[in-house]
């Protein structure tokens, strides 16, 4: 749940399963559905997704998700591991397997090495000290993509794609495009788990300002903190950092705390929990209402953005939800 993300210290002794043997691509071409191929692209884009996340995004029930994901593992296109939690049992965590990488490469007409895929690196995230942060970011976007209101997450780019595109200036934890009725909002996400000094978090605004200046595109930055106390302290640091910029309007900022999110499975970052940095009082607003808070932001085009390819991001990002309904 976005209100209570897993902490890194809760995940210990990660033990991945052995990678499945790759199947012949010709045989897989008959077996894989459009949703299956979407799952492979999602695991490639975001590195790791849990059964819970994939169930919410692309399946009607958890039993249907488990059956299909286990089938994909049997076919060798996905692999999985389970972190050993201090309390309770973790869901399966899914990563792209060698046969899955071969499928994606064949569809794109490239070699597997051009994807930047290596089996050892795919499973290395099981031991990464950043695993809890990656899962937290993916939980956040999953909650937004499955918001029960008539809203849509039109685009979700991973932190890895963002780093490949803009890492010399800014390193967001994700980029998204959110739409509700006639309102559309592009944003960068900074997902804070309270492990980084607030001065370091605030200093990131300088990079975002330079990115806006060089690209001529003003994109709001959303800071998500674990607690209200952390949010208040972060806002103070960010105001100070933003005041030192040559043109503060280049970096619109809003903050929210996970404590404010509804404590139920359907909790969403789209709720009335956001506070623009310029606001010193008053009521919080929804994610859609933030679009009118910054008249200086660059207007969002009607089409879903297609990022340029790079050495680390050859494939276009998959849509946040599968092309088919997936409710079975």
CB 144 within 8 A of CB 176: yes
Tens digit of each residue's pLDDT (9 = 90 or more) over 272-325: 999 999 888 779 999 999 999 998 899 888 788 888 777 667 899 999 999 864
Answer yes or no: CATH 1.25.40 is held by domain 8-131. no
Q: State the Cα–Cα distance between residues 11 and 18, nearest whole angstrom.
A: 20
Give the C-alpha separation, 116 to 101, whole Å. 10
- Assess whether pLDDT exceeds 70 at residue 19: no
Please tell me the pTM assigned to this model.
0.89
Confidence tier at 23 by pLDDT (50, 70, 90): very low
Instruction: Kindly list the domain boundaries of the chain, sorted by start residue.
Output: 8-131, 147-292
Q: How far apart are alpha carbons 87 and 78 in whole angstroms?
A: 26
Q: Identify the CA nearest to 320 among candidates 130, 147, 190.
A: 147
Rounded distance between C-alpha atoms, residue 203 and residue 171, angstroms: 12
Q: For residue range 184-217, what is the model confidence (pLDDT) as tens digits?
A: 999 999 999 999 999 999 999 999 999 999 999 9
Return the DSSP state at 285.
B
Token pair for 238: 């960010």
Residue 106 and residue 109: Cα distance in Å, rounded? 5
Cα torsion through 239, 240, 244, 249, rounded to 10: 0
Distances (CA, A) of 28 to 7, 21, 36, 58, 220: 37, 13, 11, 20, 42
| Residue keyed to tokens 């640091």 | 237
């Amino acid at each position: 749940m976005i209100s209570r993300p897993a902490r890194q210290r809760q995940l210990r002794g990660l033990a991945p399963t052995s990678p499945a043997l790759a199947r012949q691509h010709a045989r897989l071409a008959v077996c894989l559905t459009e949703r299956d191929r979407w799952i492979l692209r999602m695991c490639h884009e975001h590195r790791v997704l849990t059964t819970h996340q994939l169930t919410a995004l692309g399946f009607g029930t958890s039993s249907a998700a488990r059956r299909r994901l286990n089938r994909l593992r049997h076919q060798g296109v996905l692999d999985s591991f389970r972190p050993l939690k201090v309390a309770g049992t973790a869901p399966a965590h899914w990563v792209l397997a060698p046969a899955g990488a071969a499928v994606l490469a064949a569809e794109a007409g490239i070699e597997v090495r051009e994807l930047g895929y290596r089996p050892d690196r795919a499973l290395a995230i099981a031991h990464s000290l950043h695993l809890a942060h990656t899962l937290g970011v993916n939980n956040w976007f999953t909650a937004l993509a499955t918001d029960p209101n008539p809203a849509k997450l039109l685009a979700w780019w991973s932190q890895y794609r963002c780093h490949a595109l803009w890492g010399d200036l800014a390193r967001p934890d994700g980029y998204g495009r959110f739409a509700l009725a006639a309102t559309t909002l592009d944003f960068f996400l900074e997902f804070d788990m309270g492990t980084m000094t607030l001065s370091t978090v605030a200093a990131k605004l300088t990079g975002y300002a330079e990115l806006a200046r060089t690209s001529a595109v003003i994109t709001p930055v959303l800071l998500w903190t674990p607690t209200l106390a952390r949010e208040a302290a972060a806002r103070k640091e960010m105001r100070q950092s933003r005041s030192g910029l040559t043109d503060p309007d280049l970096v619109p900022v809003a903050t929210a705390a996970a404590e404010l999110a509804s404590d139920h499975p359907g909790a969403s970052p789209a709720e009335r929990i956001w506070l623009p940095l310029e606001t010193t009082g008053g009521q919080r607003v929804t994610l859609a209402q933030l679009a009118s808070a910054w008249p200086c932001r660059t207007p969002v085009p009607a089409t879903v953005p297609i990022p340029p390819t790079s050495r680390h991001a050859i494939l276009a990002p998959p849509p946040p939800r599968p092309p088919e309904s997936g409710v079975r």
